[in-house]
Structure 1
């Protein structure tokens, strides 16, 4: 806890508390669970968009520019979805 820990211990730890206050531990666990759920959502969304683009490219229905725009749009949606973590309150 705090800055008194060794660098090796801080690198291998799952959670590093930078203050000697354990009251924030439940919030940290809640935030990490929410972050993991959002990461999984973002990965699935990205994979689905890529798969749909791949399926539409072979018959020629998806041009290069449409694929670029869909990839950029998917990246923006993933970023906006991840920004929901900023609204998590203690």
Structure 2
């Protein structure tokens, strides 16, 4: 999670999935914050999407989108702790 490869676009960060011999890359803008726990949250979101029957690529894409929305909200709030509740795009 949160990696940059030699060909990653400037100002971007990527999550990489290698499944069934296929490489998928999910890029988001790099934000100037570094809260703790993003990898744990990403893994939990992926697991939840898989448990709901999503394909692995869809599960990772949805998790990356949610993490990015959480990070934007965290940045906007100016806090060191991730702003999780409620998760973006989810009904409470």
TM > 0.5 = no
Taking CA–CA contacts closer than 8 Å with sequence separation of 6 or more, which of the two structures ends up with the larger relative contact order?
1
Question: Whose radius of gyration is greater, 1 or 2?
Answer: 1
- In the superposition, the TM-score normalised over structure 1's length comes to 0.35
Query: Which structure's residues are more often strand, by fraction?
Result: 2
- In the superposition, the TM-score normalised over structure 2's length comes to 0.35
